[in-house]
Structure 1
Amino acid sequence: MVVRTEAIVLKSIPFRETSRLVTLYTLKLGKLTTVARGAQSRKNQFGSTLQVLSHVQAVIYTRPTRSIQVLTNCAHITVHPGISHDLKRLAIGQRICELVLALTEEGVDSSGIFHLITRTLGALGDSATDAVLVQLYFQLHLTAALGFGPSFTRDEVERIDDSSGYLLLDTGTISPEAETGSRSLAASRDVLRAFAILYRADFDVVLRMRLTDKQRQGLYTLVTRFMRYHVQEAYPERGEEVLSQILGLASKV
């Protein structure tokens, strides 16, 4: 069956002498491993479309009995020079791909995750946005798409006093007190409110948020620790270490 679909290139590596193995996250088929035959030959028809983070229109020949499908054609839909020309934004974009590769299943259709990726990359390519905030938005909303997003009410957020409160890692609940038998992280009221806005507010509102360096560090810790707690061994640790060094942040394990 021939499928035409939008896709994001998550990974692209040489395969044999003239081809490439390309992992895509597609709108119609979810995550998919494909082979682009001739992609490394002199008569390469794919050009720059197989670069990681490319948003493309892909034509894929699929068979249910094959683990690797055939990518027959690719054309750019959106190019993000604002990402490729900025080291921090490029590192965040690569981290987004790494998380999707590690935490999603092959062949499971999720248009929600696809649109989350494209929305995030669009914002990441804008030099006016807070790149770290964009990354944390992606991570927190990916947890929801995977079925373990935070669960809190507005009243719970409002009950946090001026000193501090807690994020309960198992449920994602925001509480003024740590609960016995539950893993929790202490954070300031401002950071917990930022966590709530990051998860519940419209993306345009999130992009207008302004954080101090201290608040950004606190929010980075909450989101990173929350995701790591739920995915355990599947969490790609090495990439986290590299990114935190580039950004000058740490999840404070």
Structure 2
Amino acid sequence: MIVNTTAIVLKTFPYGETSLISRCFTKEKGKVSFIIRGAQSKKNLTAPYFQPLSHIQIIYNEKEKRDLQIVSKVNFVDIWLKISSSLKKMTLLQSILEITDFTLEINDPHPTLFTILIDIVSYFEKGSVEPNLAFWFYECELLSEMGFRIDLTNNKINGYSFPDPDEGENSLKVLQHLINRRVDQIIFDNVSKKDKKIISNYLYQQLCYHFERFDHLKSFKVARDVLNSV
């Protein structure tokens, strides 16, 4: 079956001497792995399309029994020009890609989450939302999309206790706005360093509870330091 879908590249690595394997989050099919033959050869111009964070339109002939799909055609949908100039934004987005790759199952579509992810990257590109808020918002949306919508009134699930989200002056209010998609109502200047630590740790514990071995994600450890900084 011919599939024509938008996608965002999650991770790409070399395969053999000239090829690449790329895992992409596609809007139509969820997470899909592709092999791009000859992408590392000098005459092949497809490698730039499969850099992590690339927003692409991809066409391929889906073979259900094949672990690696073969790309027929690829084009850029958006080119992010400003993100790479900010180490903070690059660090947080790299973590978002790793979180997405870790939590999604192969061929399990989540078109709503895909749209939200593209929106998040656009926020980072345009600078229209504080990076911390965009990152926390994506965590909340991912949990909700996977069936684990946060209930701030219940801090214990099956004997597992979550941190108190109300320990900071504004931490609970910020979390409420994030969960209810009211990011525009958050005044980030009023979010203290203590609030940041409480929010980051609370969402991290939610992810660790619902996704086994989540605490092993390397990029997330760096992202937490960035989120908690002044």
TM-score normalised to structure 2 length = 0.89
Contact (CA 8 Å) 2:34, 2:69: kept in 1 or not? yes
Per-residue deviation at 1:232? Answer: 3.0
**What residue in structure 1 maps to residue 179 of structure 2?**
199
Residues of 1 paired with 2:157 and 2:180: CA distance? 19
Per-residue deviation at 1:242? Answer: 2.3
Which residue of the other structure, out of 204, 208, 216, is the alignment partner of 1:224? Answer: 204
Are residue 74 (structure 1) and residue 61 (structure 2) matched?
Answer: no
Letter in 2 for 1:201: R
Q: What is the correspondence of 1:82-161 to structure 2 with a 5 Å cutoff? A: 82-152=82-152
Instruction: Give me the identity figure in percent.
Output: 22
Are residue 48 (structure 1) and residue 48 (structure 2) matched?
Answer: yes
Residues 47 and 34 from structure 1, CA distance in 2 versus in 1: closer, same or farther, beyond 3 angstroms? closer
Contact (CA 8 Å) 1:61, 1:72: kept in 2 or not? yes
Residues 240 and 215 from structure 1, CA distance in 2 versus in 1: closer, same or farther, beyond 3 angstroms? same
Residues 64 and 102 from structure 1, CA distance in 2 versus in 1: closer, same or farther, beyond 3 angstroms? same
Contact (CA 8 Å) 1:19, 1:36: kept in 2 or not? yes
Residues 60 and 202 from structure 1, CA distance in 2 versus in 1: closer, same or farther, beyond 3 angstroms? farther
Which residue of the other structure, out of 218, 226, 230, is the alignment partner of 1:238? Answer: 218
Residues of 2 paired with 1:31 and 1:204: CA distance? 30
**What residue in structure 2 maps to residue 176 of structure 1?**
none
Q: Which runs of 4+ in 1 moved over 6 A?
A: none
- Runs (5+) with no aligned partner, structure 1: 157-166, 172-180
Per-residue deviation at 1:88? Answer: 0.9
Letter in 2 for 1:221: N
Contact (CA 8 Å) 2:137, 2:178: kept in 1 or not? yes
Classify the secondary structure of the residue corresponding to 1:125: helix
Contact (CA 8 Å) 1:102, 1:235: kept in 2 or not? no
Contact (CA 8 Å) 2:19, 2:35: kept in 1 or not? yes
> Cα RMSD (Å) of the superposition?
2.2
Are residue 183 (structure 1) and residue 161 (structure 2) matched?
Answer: yes
Classify the secondary structure of the residue corresponding to 2:211: helix
Residues of 1 paired with 2:70 and 2:109: CA distance? 18
Residues 105 and 235 from structure 1, CA distance in 2 versus in 1: closer, same or farther, beyond 3 angstroms? farther
Once the two structures are superposed, residues 47-98 of structure 1 have per-residue CA deviations (whole angstroms, 9 ceiling, x without a partner) of 5211100111111221011011112221111122222221110111111110
Per-residue deviation at 1:107? Answer: 0.5
Residues of 2 paired with 1:203 and 1:72: CA distance? 39
Residues of 2 paired with 1:213 and 1:72: CA distance? 48
Per-residue deviation at 1:116? Answer: 1.7
TM-score normalised to structure 1 length = 0.81
Q: Which has the higher contact order (CA 8 A, sep 6+)?
A: 2
Residues of 2 paired with 1:8 and 1:60: CA distance? 15
Residues 182 and 93 from structure 1, CA distance in 2 versus in 1: closer, same or farther, beyond 3 angstroms? closer
Per-residue deviation at 1:36? Answer: 1.1
- Runs (5+) with no aligned partner, structure 2: none
Are residue 170 (structure 1) and residue 148 (structure 2) matched?
Answer: no
Residues of 2 paired with 1:13 and 1:91: CA distance? 19
Contact (CA 8 Å) 2:40, 2:47: kept in 1 or not? no
Q: How many pairs align?
A: 226
